[in-house]
């Protein structure tokens, strides 16, 4: 392989490496004739000139991915293992050049993950509270799902529907010696949980 390669668009002589040219197995030197800068600019211009075509291509790629998810994951894993150091460096370089986009991407990913696993996060917070209070017992997200079904989706205290959301109440508050196990939990509406606060049932009037 030559030590330098001339881009056919900008005509710059650049090192003939994957750092400057995209790999292309159909070429004799194994590299695309355009440098990465020109190739990216050309592809960006093409996407902007025909957004409908871009949308269809993206839909087709997504459809293939979901239809061949296992194969796609294996391929990605293999490519990452083969080029691990380069992938790590490229990722680090991108983060340094695009700090705001990186933060926005991370925030969107965390928000999506939180919404998909909301009860797991809330369970973790309650378990941490119980540990700090020295309370025995524990529970997980499946215990909360069982409680919701057992209570038929209604507040344990006033009977209002919990379809718009619920609070998980410690029947005997942690501050009063209650445990963190599921048998000390009840699903309540926001009003009941907040008005009960850290009182025992016999000390609180839910009306």
Residues shown for the chain: 207
State the average pLDDT over residues 5-15.
Answer: 93
Cα angle 184, 190, 191; round to 5: 105
Is 189 within 8 Å of 162 (Cβ atoms)?
Answer: yes
Radius of gyration of the chain (CA): 28
**For residue 206, what pLDDT is reported?**
72
Q: Is the pTM of this model over 0.75?
A: no
Q: What CATH class is the domain 118-203? A: alpha beta
E strand intervals along the chain: 4-6, 13-15, 21-23, 31-35, 167-170, 185-188
**What string of DSSP letters covers 61-84?**
HHHHHHHTHHHHHHHHHHHHHHTH
pLDDT in tens, 91-133: 999 999 999 999 999 999 999 998 889 888 999 999 999 999 9
178 within 8 A of 171, measured Cβ to Cβ: yes
Nearest to 39 by CA among 62, 20, 15, 13: 20
Q: What is the mean pLDDT of residues 62-80?
A: 94
pLDDT in tens, 159-180: 999 998 999 999 999 999 999 9
- For 139-158, write each residue's pLDDT tens digit: 999 999 999 999 999 999 99
Domain ranges in the chain? 1-49, 118-203
Give the CATH number of domain 1-49; options: 1.20.120, 3.30.60, 1.10.3470, 1.10.3120: 3.30.60
């Amino acid at each position: 392989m030559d030590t330098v390669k001339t881009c056919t668009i900008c005509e710059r002589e650049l090192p003939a490496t994957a750092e400057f040219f995209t790999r292309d197995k159909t070429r004799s030197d194994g590299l695309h004739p355009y440098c990465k800068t020109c190739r990216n600019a050309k592809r960006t211009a093409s996407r902007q000139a025909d957004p409908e075509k871009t949308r269809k291509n993206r839909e087709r790629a997504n459809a293939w991915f979901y239809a061949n998810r296992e194969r796609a994951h294996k391929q990605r894993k293999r490519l990452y293992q083969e080029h691990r150091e380069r992938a790590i460096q490229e990722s680090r370089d991108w983060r340094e050049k695009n700090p705001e986009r990186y933060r926005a991407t991370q925030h969107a990913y965390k928000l999506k993950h939180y919404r998909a696993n909301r009860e797991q996060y809330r369970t973790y917070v309650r378990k941490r509270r119980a540990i700090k209070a020295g309370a025995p017992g524990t529970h997980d997200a499946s215990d909360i799902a069982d409680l919701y079904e057992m209570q038929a989706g209604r507040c344990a205290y006033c009977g209002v529907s919990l379809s718009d959301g619920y609070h998980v109440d410690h029947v005997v508050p942690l501050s009063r010696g209650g445990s963190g196990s599921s048998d000390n939990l009840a699903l309540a509406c926001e009003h009941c949980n907040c008005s009960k606060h850290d009182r025992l049932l016999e000390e609180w009037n839910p009306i």
